[in-house]
Amino acid sequence: MATSYEPKLEKIQQQGRCRNMSPDIHFGTASETLDERSAREKAAKEICRQCIVVDDCLLYAIQHDINTGIWGAHTPDERQNIFD
C-alpha cells in the first residue's frame, strides 16, 4: 500500500473500543458455526464502527497482512478485496 503513514499498534490497543472486550468477539472460536460466525462478525463490525481508531486499525491490519479477525470493521477477505 502506497502510504508513508504507519499506525502504531500501541495506540490502537490503548484507544480501541474493543480494548477491554473478549478477543473472541473479533476473532471467534474454532468451534463456532457459520451462523454464529456471521452474527459475531456483524456484532464486531458494529463495535468497530463506533471506535475512534477504526481507520488506523484497518490500515494497520492491511499494512501487516493480518489474515485473521475483524480489524477496522473488515473481515480478512474484505481487507484483501479493498485494493483488488
Report the residue number, 72 or 79, with the smaller CB distance to ligand SF4.
72
Site string for ligand SF4, 15-44 (x = CB under 6 A): -xxx-------x------------------
Of 3-11, 29-37, 53-61, 75-83, the segment contacting ligand SF4 by CB under 6 A is: 53-61
> What SS3 class is residue 20?
coil
CA–CA dist 6, 39 (Å, integer)? 31
**Residues ≥6 apart with Cβ < 8 Å to 74:** 45, 58, 61, 82
Retrieve residue 32's grid coordinates.
Answer: 463456532
Chain residues binding ligand SF4 by CB under 6 A are 12, 16-18, 26, 47-48, 51, 53-54, 57, 70-72
